[in-house]
Amino acid sequence: MATRTEMIEARRPPDMRRGVVGWLRANLFNGPFNSVASLLTIVLLAMVLWPLAKWALIDADWLGSTREACTGEGACWVFISARFETIIYGFYPDAARWRVDLVLTMMALLIAWLAIPRLPAKRWVGLFALVGFPIVAYFLLLGGHFGLEAVPTREWGGLMLTLTVATVGIVGSLPIGVVLALGRRSKMPLVRSLCVVFIEFWRGVPLITVLFMASVMLPLFVPTEVEFDKLLRALIGIMFFWSAYMAEVVRGGLQAIPSGQEEAAKALGLGYWRRMGLIVLPQALKLVIPGIVNTFIALFKDTSLVLIIGLFDLLAIIRAGLTDSNWLGFATEGYVFAALMFWIFCFSMSRYSQYIERRLHTGH
Amino acid sequence: MGRDIHSRLDMQRSSSERGPLWRDPAVRALVIQAILLLALLGFIAMIVTNTLANLEARGITTGFGFLQERAGFSIPQTLIDYSGDSSYARTFVVGLLNTLLVSGMGIVAATIIGFIVGIARLSSNWLMAKLAAAYVEIFRNIPLLVQILFWYFAVLQALPSPRQSLSLFEAFFLNVRGLVVPAPEPLPGFSATLWALLLAVIAVVGLSVFARRRQARTGKALSVFRLGALILIGLPLAAFLATGRPLAWDVPTLSGFNFNGGVTVIPELVALWLALSIYTASFIAEIVRSGIQSVPQGQVEAARAISLPGDVTLRKIVIPQAMRVIVPQLTSQYLNLTKNSSLATAIGYPDLVAVFAGTALNQTGQAIEIVAITMAVYLLISLVVSALMNLYNARTLLKER
Amino acid sequence: MTASNSASASSSDSPMIEVEGLNKWYGDFHVLRDIDLTVARGERIVVCGPSGSGKSTLIRCFNHLEEHQQGRIVVDGVTMTQDVKRIEQIRRNVGMVFQHFNLFPHLSVLDNCCISQIWVQKKPRAEAEKTAMEFLERVQIADQAHKYPGQLSGGQQQRVAIARALCMRPEVMLFDEPTSALDPEMIKEVLDVMVELARDGMTMLCVTHEMGFAKTVADRVIFMDQGQIIEQAPPETFFNNPESERTQLFLSQILGH
């Protein structure tokens, strides 16, 4: 038997790239079935995309203030641009709109800070986003203190209202959900069964019935003299509803943490709340970030349901615009724009969740 | 140290070593739960008193007596006889049936679209995979309500009036008032065809049982699929032809400003159905894709290594394992679709929420009873389906130590 | 290294662990049957036996990871009861090393060692880190202090786990099959640390199948089967003249090849 005396150096693989033609052959025309399918798809795409682009971009009218500005064959985006301010701020008084701008800017900065992994002090920024920011936003938006003019919630609307509902829903439902998830794993039978009933109840009914309940039943539950804000009622309903979904997401994370982690923490002498707060929850929550973000997306989409109980969110403002007798017949433009707005928010969130998921898979 | 010397010491009973009561976890648990129970009861008591006081102040009587009263409004689409003279109880049934109708239609369509898109996403054809991915990313990120309003107000309301209907084969007509399709009218003797269909189903079931037994006994496989399809189509067709084609079609015809004959599918149903199917399909596609991808590559390799043919690998190895992942999530999507059908109220499709929690509630003011009944219906559906799902999960659970 | 004796409430000649008439059931399954055991201070005991014999369950009772139904356990003069304060007191005095390390993956090696010092012993962070580095030094892994557990090999992780337990300056260390999850080439580095610990006079209870370790280190070897202690003897007697047939059979199975 011969013995190798020198080790073999690593070599580069032979060049396998085959250019554009090679790529096309491998990915589109590998076999007769695929070739036909590809050709059909290309024809179909051309038939749909070209007229769409023509309508939405090439032949569209963009600027103006009345419907007379729309002369082309395509979309009349004037319908949107003419009422853009209302779509963003609703009926918020002109003079106070800087407050909305300030809150939205703060929100954007906070989200960016939390979403970019490189930035430091995540814990403190996160704590501020969950506790400090809502308080600041509350005083800024509602006013009535510190010399700010009060703006009642019935004047809120548009994108600003949509974001308010979404933010309150997100900030409120996550902590309630965590508590419910822990309660569902409790050894105390009463605590456990209460949490199970609470979770399963909200998960079993449609959000719209919850909103109905919030708008027609909640006022009956409080003493007659208490005035109960319509937006607040909707927010309570939304928070409870989504906290049940959040609880199930968090529970999934808790179940994925090996029992050894809790045992090791016990062996070190840590008590229940320390074990949860320092060892189990940090790992479990990190594990389910994608699930949490997906719940956020669902929550964000469902904020549009407040339209049904008469709040003027982004979608409702646009729908209200469509009933304006000067602007009849632009339903397509209106709903396509609404869809685009919601889509941008949801798609970015879903991309972020996928990015996090990949990061979780590859490292820690 | 023998155990006869030391008597068994029960730690629970040696009270001298127990320590203070409040540091015993069992005692703590009891106290916490007692406090929780008291708080809960107090909360409920508060709500009940407030509610009773409020109802009295508004002069609303409680109870379910209103269900027997005359509803006095009409509903555009009813699966059972209904008129303004019917009771609120009947309104409830009509609404519930309409909810079930659109949910059922949605589930069928969403499943078909979802499976096609989901499998297309895994296609080796780059274009098809990307197209399917685009479908998913577009439709699942737009709120369902926006989609419903879009289909209803932007597409269906923009359709021509009945006189300028879009028509297909002069039998199907699409216009602003809905979709008009021919209605089947069975003539005497048609029952023979139905009986033949029933017979064919029984025959196919019997055939597949026989085929499995025979394969187990002799090892000879029998292609049930083709033979079964032949029986299932052929037998009823033969009966239908033999009895002289006893089925007439009531084809809609335009008379004046509207259509006579046929069945009109109201545009609200079409819009809701389209939106629900397209939206839910985008989720089902993801479920199907992840289900198929969840089967480890090693399973396919192992099947190849014992030289199972491709279709057997798919049928006996991949699909059963993928289904274990797919079915529970699919069920939850079906439940979501059913719950989402309540958005019907935004365009006026007469589902349970629209006619019962909407119109009936506004007329009677019985908010608590009506919202409670409505929620109970959805809750009941959810719980029954979840219970069935748990049963399924328990049955398909992998046996492990 | 000398285990700090300052926290001990009892006199130093009383036994470290005392177990009398211990019984435990999982449902109807009787896992521990009439266990009597006394562990002296500084004693090193190796527990062995076939899988499912209850040896892990036994040592997990000593820091109340498992609850027993009958009998008495006294650790360092403190009787085990349901009282949460007592359990906490016992757990401070008992260090444990697990088969699967159970390091906290979201915390750095250093933080793994600090967490209980900070939250249980309420030490200032700087002091906790100093202690942690000291013990990481002892297990020869101080250079990895700022890495995360997932970046270490199994042997390194287990050494960190030992350091983490030592940071609480326990009176007694429990080892639950510390080398069973390791690749063969990493077993030695963990055993070396354990041998050194034994030399320094730490009271140790090890559930392990490393018979070489038992021979060099143990003062006593305990053999368990079906939830009971079948035989206990000094290692020479245990390995050369086992009394019971079960022990002989077991030894022939694990030493036979």
ipTM score over 0.90, yes or no:
no
Say if CB A158 and CB A166 are below 8 A apart.
no
pLDDT at A280: 92
Q: Do A282 and C106 touch (CB under 8 A)?
A: yes
Q: In this model, does residue A134 exceed pLDDT 60?
A: yes
- For B247, the token pair is 């089925």
- A48 close contact with C: CB closer than 8 A: no
Confidence label for B17 from pLDDT (cuts 50, 70 and 90): low
Give the model's pLDDT for residue B269. Answer: 92
β-pairing, C44-48 with C203-207?
parallel
Predicted local confidence at residue B22, as pLDDT: 72
- Chain A positions touching B51 (Cβ under 8 A) are 220-221
Residue matched to tokens 């109708």: B101
CB pairs under 8 A between B and C: 53
Of the candidate ranges A95-109, A233-247, B49-63, the one whose mean pLDDT is the lowest: B49-63
3-state secondary structure at position B32: helix
CA distance A360 to A353: 10
Q: How many CB atoms lie within 10 A of CB B13?
A: 9
Q: What is the pLDDT of residue A175?
A: 92
Residue with tokens 């073999």: A8
Average pLDDT, chain B: 83
Q: Do C91 and A283 touch (CB under 8 A)?
A: no
- How far apart (Å, rounded) are the C-alpha atoms in residues B260 and B264? 10
Report pLDDT for A13: 65
Closest CA to C19 of C5, C38, C34: C38
Query: What mean pLDDT is reported for chain C?
Result: 88
* A166-310+336-360 has CATH 1.10.3720.10 classification: yes
- Residue C52 phi, psi (nearest 5): 80, 10
B7 vs B88, higher pLDDT: B88
Report the C-alpha gap between A350 and B286 in whole angstroms.
Answer: 13
CATH architecture, domain defined by B88-182+251-396: Orthogonal Bundle (1.10)
Work out the percent of chain A whose per-residue pLDDT is above 90.
Answer: 30
Confidence of residue B149 (pLDDT cuts 50, 70, 90): very high
Q: Give the residue extent of every domain in chain A.
A: 166-310+336-360
Q: Report the pLDDT averaged over residues A2-18.
A: 69
Nearest CA in chain B to A319: B149
Tokens of C240: 């050369």
pLDDT category at A303 given cuts 50, 70, 90 is very high
Give the best-scoring range by mean pLDDT among A18-27, A28-37, A129-138, B22-31. Answer: A129-138
pLDDT digits (tens, 9 = 90+) for B294-350: 888 878 878 777 777 777 778 778 888 888 888 888 999 999 999 999 999 989 899
What pLDDT is recorded for position C81? 85
pLDDT score at B3: 39
The answer to whether A338 faces chain B, any CB pair under 8 Å, is yes
Closest CB from A261, A271, A274 relative to C104: A261
- Whether B7 has a pLDDT exceeding 50, the answer reads no
* Cα A87 from Cα A89, distance rounded (Å): 6
Please tell me the predicted confidence (pLDDT) of residue B241: 83
Q: Does the CB of B8 have a partner CB in chain C at under 8 Å?
A: yes
- With CB atoms and an 8 Å threshold, state whether B9 touches C71: yes
C14 Cα to chain B: minimum distance (Å)? 17
Confidence band, pLDDT 50/70/90 cuts, at residue B399? low
Least confident among A80-84, A126-130, A291-295, A310-314 = A80-84
State how far the Cα of B308 lies from the Cα of B297, in Å rounded to an integer. 15
Pick the more confident residue, B279 or C209.
B279
Question: DSSP readout, A128-149?
Answer: IIIIIHHHHHHHHHH--STTPP
Q: Which chains pack against C, by 3+ Cβ pairs within 8 A?
A: A, B
The answer to whether B371 contacts A217, with C-beta atoms less than 8 Å apart, is: yes
Are the C-beta atoms of B156 and B267 separated by less than 8 Å? yes
Over the stretch C192-249, which tens digit does the pLDDT of each residue have?
Answer: 999 999 999 999 999 998 889 999 999 999 999 999 999 999 999 999 988 888 999 9
Task: Measure in Å the smallest separation between the Cα of C228 and chain B Cα atoms.
Answer: 12
Q: What percent of chain B has pLDDT over 70?
A: 94
Nearest beta carbon to residue B11 from set C34, C81, C85: C81
DSSP-derived secondary structure for B338-369: HHHGGGGGGTT---HIIIIIIIIHHHH--HHH
Task: Give me the pLDDT at residue B19, please.
Answer: 65
Q: Closest approach of chain A CAs to the CA of C62, in angstroms?
A: 10
Residue B299 is predicted with a pLDDT of 82
Answer positive or negative: Cα dihedral of B368, B372, B374, B375: positive
Query: pLDDT value at position C160?
Result: 94
Mean pLDDT of A323-330: 79
pLDDT (tens digit per residue) in A261-297: 999 999 998 888 999 999 999 899 888 888 899 999 9
Q: Which of C102, C120, C148 sits opposite A269 (nearest CB)?
A: C120
List CB contacts (< 8 A) between A224 and chain B: 50, 53-54, 57
Question: Angle, to 10 degrees, between the axis of helix A189-204 and the axis of helix B367-396?
Answer: 110
Q: What is the mean pLDDT of residues B197-204?
A: 89
Q: Please report the pLDDT score of residue B397 as a whole number.
A: 67
Task: Tell the burial category of A162 from Cβ atoms under 10 Å away from its Cβ (0-12, 13-18, 19+).
Answer: buried
Per the model's pLDDT, the better-predicted residue between C98 and A153 turns out to be: C98
d(CA B103, CA B352): 12
Q: CB of A187 within 8 Å of any CB in chain C?
A: no
User: What is the per-residue pLDDT for A18?
Assistant: 61
Measured between alpha carbons, how far is A178 from A182 in angstroms, rounded to an integer? Answer: 6
**Domains of chain B: which residue ranges?**
21-59, 88-182+251-396, 186-250
pLDDT for A15 equals 58
Two tokens, residue A8: 């073999």
In this prediction, residues A25-33 reach a mean pLDDT of 74
Mutate to test the interface with B, among A24, A44, A209, A314 (most CBs of B within 10 A): A209
Q: Say whether residue B3 is in contact with chain C using an 8 A CB cutoff.
A: yes
| Residue C113: closest C-alpha in chain A | A268
Which sign does the torsion angle of CA C138, C144, C148, C152 carry? negative
A267/C119 touch (CB, cutoff 8 Å), yes or no: no
Contact yes or no for B189/B244 (Cβ under 8 A): yes
Q: Is the CB of B158 less than 8 angstroms away from the CB of A45?
A: no
pLDDT at B16: 46
Q: What is the mean pLDDT of residues B26-44?
A: 89
For residues B232-251, average pLDDT: 80
Task: Quote the pLDDT of residue C10.
Answer: 46
CB-based burial label for C143 (10 Å; 0-12, 13-18, 19+): exposed
Q: Does B4 touch chain C (CB under 8 A)?
A: no
Q: Return the top range by mean pLDDT from A29-43, A224-238, A299-313.
A: A299-313
Instruction: Write down the pLDDT at residue B14.
Output: 44
Buried b (16+ CB within 10 A) or exposed e, B287-313: bbbebbeebeeeebeebeeeebeeeeb
Q: Which fold has domain C34-255?
A: Rossmann fold (3.40.50)
Confidence bin at B367 (pLDDT 50/70/90): confident
Establish if A38 touches chain B: CB-CB under 8 angstroms: yes
A263: contact with C, CB 8 A cutoff? yes
Q: Which residue has the higher pLDDT, A80 or C23?
A: C23
Beta-carbon count within 10 A of A314 CB: 28
**A to C CB pairs, distance under 8 Å:** 63
Looking at chain C, the whole-number percentage of residues with pLDDT higher than 70 is 94
DSSP-derived 3-state class of residue B66: helix
